[in-house]
Amino acid sequence: MKKNTNTENFESGYVYHIYTHANGNDLIFREEENYRYFLKKLEKYIIPITEMYAYCLMPNHFHLLLRFKELKEIENEHFYLMKHFSNLLNGYAKAYNKRYNRKGSLFLDYIRRKRVDNKKYLIKLLHYIHNNPVNHGFIEDINDWKYSSYQSYINFSKESRIERKEMMQYFDTINEFVEYHKSNVEYDFLTIE
């Protein structure tokens, strides 16, 4: 029986691909300020409880690749993982609705999530997330999208909140990382809706 990815609980210590979409035909991000504000909320609610490996923010959806820290690694061990995502999305939606004088739900009713259980899947997800703007036709060159963690990887000498070392262990050099992202990768076993 296939696991329902919409109700699967988060578990500390595991890597997840997390994604959600705007409700209907709405946009989540209309202007640059929206992207920046969402990243600040991400830093406030999600970074303290995770190791963030990758992200990509698109006009009507987003993708995150992260590992939830073990309880002993988190300052406040009494927490509910899903509550942090609720705070992120609700806080962002309230500010967005106020700014654009809109009402109602901005996001789908649930966050989709898939636990990542092998290296091959992990590496393909990294490629998929960073190439999302190319795959959706927003840009032709991966370097032109400002709202993903890709730039953090290729500018490895700059400080970042992205946990790059974990993913870079699969690449010998930055050039190998870049070439992998330019290559065509089959997402055959990624069931992303």
pLDDT 10s digits, 98-145 = 999 999 899 987 788 899 999 999 999 999 999 999 999 999 999 999
* pLDDT for the residue 6: 45
* pLDDT for the residue 184: 85
pLDDT band at 43 (very low <50, low <70, confident <90, very high): very high
Q: Is 24 helix (H, G, I), strand (E, B) or coil?
A: coil
Rounded mean pLDDT of 152-171?
A: 89
pLDDT band at 189 (very low <50, low <70, confident <90, very high): low
Nearest CA among 18, 113, 108 for reference residue 64 = 18
* pLDDT for the residue 58: 97
* pLDDT for the residue 77: 46
Q: What is the mean pLDDT of the chain?
A: 87
Rounded mean pLDDT of 11-31?
A: 92
Q: Identity (one letter) of the amino acid at 70?
A: E
pLDDT band at 75 (very low <50, low <70, confident <90, very high): low
Instruction: Give the global pTM.
Output: 0.88
Name the strands in the sheet holding 15-21, side by side, starting at the edge strand that comes first in the sequence: 50-58, 61-68, 15-21, 112-116
* pLDDT for the residue 21: 94
What is the share, in percent, of the chain residues with pLDDT greater than 90? Answer: 66
How far apart CA 109 and CA 17 sit, in angstroms, is: 17
